[in-house]
């Protein structure tokens, strides 16, 4: 560790900044939330009475004591604010989705390289309890070769809300919101697909942007081929499908429920508290026996840990470990998100390599 903590400046104190970034980074040893750029100082001080509040990004970037800038603005501001922060010589974490498109993503990645600064994207769902469990299960090879994967993020939110994420503005809609997570997880598990096909729709009464998507990733080459991966999200599922379904040549894994960390953060709990990230819902393993019967058993779920992301960012800035989500991964994901939009518009599968 350095002689002092790395000091972070947070841009934006809406849902992402208040719920995910401020409490998570503040729970990591060696990181300190030093300042927040926000037009709502009363809101910040209600949660963090000792943290400075500045009126805008420029005021935050003028501070020589800020090492890391966290961009938690609406999506359309990710690129311009991230660019300003890098030009000011700061290390930068950008909330997902990284940018509005791949061209903006490549611009930020190139700038970070020229400036010699860390640039990372907050893909916290890599540290979900059930995803960590799924990763370990695949790595162990117990299910054999994976042949079919299904990942759902189903919610029941029938009313269209007055917030930018549900309005027809750049960066809104479910595909970039939840697709950023589900695509990233699929790529972490299986790599980049050969083709991608996305169907999206506006299903709720009064919907202004897509609130449903169904994506099919086809793997015809590579270590996991042949494989199909289905990514699905909706805001009109009163009865949610399993979070994960994985079929392999020797068995299947099914996990219901979602990682508990977001709900805990929404409720005001702080990371690191006893029982943090513990998912009481076990997965179910169904294995094919040699005699043709099936053996079913419960698989405990590992504890999730969003703090691990910011701990890795800290160590990467200090030169002790790799960037947990490097720019090249963020650019590749934005390329797939762009491709998904094109696929939905054209109604066909498109090459992804």
Is residue 103 located within the same domain as residue 229? no
Q: What is the mean pLDDT of the segment spanning 198-227? A: 97
**Cα 280 to the center of its chain, rounded Å:** 22
Is residue 290 located within the same domain as residue 315? no
In a domain, 35, yes or no: yes
In a domain, 330, yes or no: no
pLDDT of 39 strictly over 90 = yes
Is residue 295 located within the same domain as residue 320? no
Distance CA 84, CA 134 (A): 38
Is residue 24 located within the same domain as residue 40? yes
What letter does residue 21 receive in the DSSP assignment? I
Distance CA 81, CA 119 (A): 13
Q: CB neighbours (10 Å) of residue 150?
A: 17
Is residue 289 located within the same domain as residue 196? yes
Q: What is the mean pLDDT of the segment spanning 53-74? A: 97
Total domain count, the chain: 2
Is residue 131 located within the same domain as residue 239? yes
Is residue 105 located within the same domain as residue 168? no
Is residue 179 located within the same domain as residue 314? no
Question: In the prediction, which pLDDT does 264 show?
Answer: 97
Is residue 210 located within the same domain as residue 192? yes
Q: How confident is the model at residue 1 (pLDDT cuts 50, 70, 90)?
A: very low
* Collapsed DSSP state (helix, strand, coil) of residue 82: helix
In a domain, 104, yes or no: yes
Question: In the prediction, which pLDDT does 292 show?
Answer: 82
pLDDT of 2 strictly over 60 = no
Closest CA to 261 of 201, 207, 181: 181
In a domain, 96, yes or no: yes
Q: What is the mean pLDDT of the segment spanning 159-172? A: 94
pLDDT digits (tens, 9 = 90+) for 179-193: 999 999 999 999 999
Is residue 145 located within the same domain as residue 293? yes
- What are the residues whose beta carbons fall under 8 Å from the beta carbon of 20, sequence distance 6 or more? 72, 95, 122, 124, 262, 265, 306
Instruction: Give percent of the chain above pLDDT 90.
Output: 96
In a domain, 1, yes or no: no
State which H helix or E strand residue 245 sits in: strand 244-248
* Collapsed DSSP state (helix, strand, coil) of residue 268: coil
Long-range contacts of 308-312 (CB under 8 A, 24+ apart): 308/127, 309/24, 309/122, 309/123, 309/124, 309/126, 309/127, 310/24, 310/25, 310/28, 310/31, 311/28, 311/29, 311/30
* Tokens matching residue 53: 């509040």
In a domain, 331, yes or no: no
CATH value at residue 240: 3.30.360.10
Domain, as residue range, for 289: 126-305+336-351
Closest CA to 231 of 191, 284, 178: 178
Cβ atoms of 344 and 28 within 8 Å: the answer is no
pLDDT digits (tens, 9 = 90+) for 277-302: 999 999 999 999 888 899 999 999 99
pLDDT digits (tens, 9 = 90+) for 120-130: 999 999 999 99
What letter does residue 5 receive in the DSSP assignment? P
What letter does residue 278 receive in the DSSP assignment? -
Is residue 155 located within the same domain as residue 80? no
CATH value at residue 89: 3.40.50.720
Is residue 189 located within the same domain as residue 315? no
State which H helix or E strand residue 197 sits in: strand 195-201
In a domain, 213, yes or no: yes
pLDDT of 165 strictly over 60 = yes
Cβ atoms of 214 and 237 within 8 Å: the answer is no
Q: What is the mean pLDDT of the segment spanning 237-260? A: 97
In a domain, 30, yes or no: yes
Numbers of helices and strands, H then E, in the chain: 12, 15
Cβ atoms of 251 and 142 within 8 Å: the answer is yes
pLDDT digits (tens, 9 = 90+) for 327-353: 999 999 999 999 999 999 999 999 999
Determine whether 204 is exposed, middle or buried from the number of CB atoms within 10 Å of its CB (0-12, 13-18, 19+): middle
Q: Is the peptide bond before 27 cis (omega within 30 degrees of 0)?
A: no
Look up the pTM and report it: 0.95
**Cα 37 to the center of its chain, rounded Å:** 23
Average pLDDT score, the chain:
97
Q: What is the mean pLDDT of the segment spanning 318-331? A: 98
Strands (E), 103-145: 119-122
């Amino acid at each position: 560790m350095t002689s002092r903590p790395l000091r972070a400046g947070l841009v934006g104190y809406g849902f992402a900044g208040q719920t995910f970034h401020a409490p998570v980074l503040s729970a990591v040893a060696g990181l300190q939330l030093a300042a927040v750029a926000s037009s709502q100082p009363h809101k910040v001080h209600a949660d963090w009475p000792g943290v400075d509040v500045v009126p805008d990004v420029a005021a935050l970037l003028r501070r020589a004591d800020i090492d890391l800038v966290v961009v938690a603005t609406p999506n359309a501001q990710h690129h311009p604010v991230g660019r300003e922060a890098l030009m000011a010589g700061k290390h930068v974490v950008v909330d997902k989705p990284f940018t509005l498109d791949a061209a903006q993503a490549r611009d930020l990645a190139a700038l970070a390289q020229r400036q010699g600064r860390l640039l990372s994207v907050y893909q916290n769902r890599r540290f979900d309890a059930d995803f960590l469990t799924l990763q370990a299960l695949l790595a162990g090879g117990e299910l054999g070769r994976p042949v079919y994967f299904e990942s759902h993020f189903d919610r029941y939110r029938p009313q269209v809300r007055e917030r930018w994420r549900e309005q027809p503005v750049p960066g809104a809609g479910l595909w970039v919101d939840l697709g950023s997570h589900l695509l990233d997880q699929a790529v972490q598990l299986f790599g980049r697909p050969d083709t991608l096909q996305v169907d999206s729709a506006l299903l709720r009464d009064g919907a202004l942007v897509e609130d449903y998507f169904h994506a099919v990733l086809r793997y015809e080459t590579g270590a996991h081929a042949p494989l199909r991966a289905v990514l699905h999200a909706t805001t009109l599922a009163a009865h949610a499908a399993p979070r994960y379904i994985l079929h392999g040549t020797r068995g299947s894994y099914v996990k219901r429920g979602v990682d508990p960390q977001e709900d805990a953060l929404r409720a005001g709990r702080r990371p690191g508290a006893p029982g943090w990230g513990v998912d009481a819902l076990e997965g179910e393993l169904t294995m094919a026996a040699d005699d043709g019967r099936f053996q079913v058993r419960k698989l405990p779920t590992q504890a999730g840990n969003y703090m691990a992301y910011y701990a890795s960012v800290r160590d990467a800035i200090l030169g002790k470990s790799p960037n947990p989500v490097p720019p090249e991964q963020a650019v590749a994901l934005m390329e797939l998100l762009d491709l998904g939009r094109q696929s939905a518009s054209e109604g066909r599968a498109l090459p992804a390599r």
